[in-house]
Amino acid sequence: MSPLELLVSILSFTIIINLLLSLRTLLKRPSKPYPPGPKPWPIIGNLPHMGRAPHKTLAAMVPTYGPLIHLRLGSVHVNVAASASVAAQFLKTYDANFSSRPKFSGAENGAYNYEDMVFAPYGPKWKLLRKICSVHLFSNKALDDFRHVRQEEVAVLTRALTRSGSDPVNLAQLLNVCTTNALARAILGKRVFGNGDGSACQESDDFKNMVLEMMELGGEFNIGDFIPSLQWLDLQGITNRTKNLLKRFDNFLSKILEDHKISGFDGGIHTDFLSLLIKMKDDVNAEGVKLTDTNIKALLLNLFSAGTDTSSSTVEWAIAELMRNPKLLAKAQHELDTVVGKHRLVTESDLGQLPFLQAIIKETFRLHPSTPLSLPRTASESCEINGYFIPKDSTLLVNVYAISRDPNVWSEPLEFKPERFLPGSDKANIDIKGNDFEVIPFGAGRRICAGMSLGLRMVTFTTASLVHAFDWVLPEDQMVEKLNMDEAYGLTLQRAAPLVVHPRPRLAHESYSNKYI
* Of the candidate ranges 21-35, 48-62, 185-199, 344-358, the one whose mean pLDDT is the lowest: 21-35
Mean pLDDT of 468-478: 92
For residue 438, count other CB atoms closer than 10 A to its CB.
Answer: 19
Cα dihedral across residues 82, 86, 92, 95: positive or negative: negative
pLDDT at 4: 45
DSSP 489: -
pLDDT at 167: 86
CB of 174 closer than 8 Å to CB of 160: yes
CB of 490 closer than 8 Å to CB of 110: no
Report the DSSP pairing between strands 395-398 and 76-81.
parallel
**Angle at Cα 13 formed by Cα 8 and Cα 19, nearest 5°?**
125
pLDDT at 254: 92
Q: Mind listing the pLDDT tens digit for each residue in 309-367?
A: 899 999 999 999 999 999 999 999 999 999 999 999 999 999 999 999 999 999 999 99
Rounded to the nearest integer, the mean pLDDT of the chain is: 91
Dihedrals phi, psi of 79, to nearest 5 degrees = -115, 135
pLDDT at 288: 78
Q: Alpha-carbon distance 106 to 301, whole Å?
A: 14
The residue with greater pLDDT, 275 or 26, is 275
Q: Mind listing the pLDDT tens digit for each residue in 403-417?
A: 999 999 999 999 999
Q: Mind listing the pLDDT tens digit for each residue in 226-243?
A: 999 999 999 999 999 999
Q: Alpha-carbon distance 49 to 359, whole Å?
A: 36
CB of 388 closer than 8 Å to CB of 32: yes
pLDDT exceeds cutoff 60 at 24 = no
Mean pLDDT of 389-394: 98
Mean pLDDT of 58-66: 98
If one looks up domain 31-512 in CATH, what number appears?
1.10.630.10
Domain boundaries, the chain: 31-512
pLDDT at 287: 77
pLDDT at 16: 57
**Angle at Cα 396 formed by Cα 392 and Cα 398, nearest 5°?**
160
- Which residues are CB-neighbours of 79 under 8 A, at least 6 positions away? 35, 68, 69, 70, 71, 90, 385, 390, 394, 395, 396, 397
For residue 278, count other CB atoms closer than 10 A to its CB.
Answer: 18
pLDDT at 292: 92
pLDDT at 7: 46
3-state secondary structure of 154: helix
pLDDT exceeds cutoff 90 at 490 = no
Q: Alpha-carbon distance 400 to 493, whole Å?
A: 11
The residue with greater pLDDT, 285 or 153, is 153
Q: Give DSSP secondary structure letters for 167-205.
A: S-EEHHHHHHHHHHHHHHHHHTSS-SSSSSS----HHHH
pLDDT exceeds cutoff 50 at 37 = yes
Q: Give DSSP secondary structure letters for 107-153.
A: HHHHTTTTTSSSSSPSSHHHHHHHHHHHHHTSSHHHHHHTHHHHHHH
Best CA proximity match to 104, nearest among 504, 498, 510, 491: 491
pLDDT at 3: 44
Q: Is 449 one of the annotated binding-site residues?
A: yes
Dihedrals phi, psi of 337, to nearest 5 degrees = -65, -35
Calculate the dihedral angle through the C-alpha atoms of 52, 54, 55, 58, rounding to the nearest 10 degrees. 130
pLDDT at 14: 54
pLDDT exceeds cutoff 90 at 299 = yes
Best CA proximity match to 318, nearest among 153, 461, 168, 181: 461
pLDDT at 36: 98
pLDDT at 450: 95
pLDDT exceeds cutoff 90 at 162 = yes
pLDDT exceeds cutoff 70 at 6 = no
**361-391: b (≥16 Cβ within 10 Å) or e:** bbbbbbbbbbbbbbbbbbbbeebebeebbbb
3-state secondary structure of 515: coil
3-state secondary structure of 387: coil
Mean pLDDT of 445-472: 97
Sheet hosting strand 470-473, strand order edge to edge = 169-170, 500-505, 470-473
CB of 32 closer than 8 Å to CB of 39: no
**484-495: b (≥16 Cβ within 10 Å) or e:** ebebbbbbbbbb
CB of 181 closer than 8 Å to CB of 153: yes
**Angle at Cα 298 formed by Cα 149 and Cα 364, nearest 5°?**
55
The residue with greater pLDDT, 65 or 289, is 65
pLDDT exceeds cutoff 80 at 308 = yes
Mean pLDDT of 174-191: 94
Q: Mind listing the pLDDT tens digit for each residue in 104-158?
A: 999 999 999 999 999 999 999 999 999 999 999 999 999 999 999 999 999 999 9
Q: CA distances (Å), 103 to each of 337, 435, 452, in order?
A: 51, 28, 25
* Of the candidate ranges 30-39, 120-129, 221-230, 282-291, the one whose mean pLDDT is the lowest: 282-291
CB of 209 closer than 8 Å to CB of 306: no
Best CA proximity match to 175, nearest among 304, 309, 306: 309
Percent of the chain with pLDDT over 90: 77
pLDDT at 194: 85
- Which residues are CB-neighbours of 152 under 8 A, at least 6 positions away? none
pLDDT at 134: 95
For residue 343, count other CB atoms closer than 10 A to its CB.
Answer: 12
Mean pLDDT of 153-166: 91
pLDDT at 197: 85
Q: Alpha-carbon distance 85 to 88, whole Å?
A: 5
CB of 472 closer than 8 Å to CB of 443: no
pLDDT exceeds cutoff 50 at 5 = no
Q: What is the CA radius of gyration of the chain?
A: 24
pLDDT at 515: 60
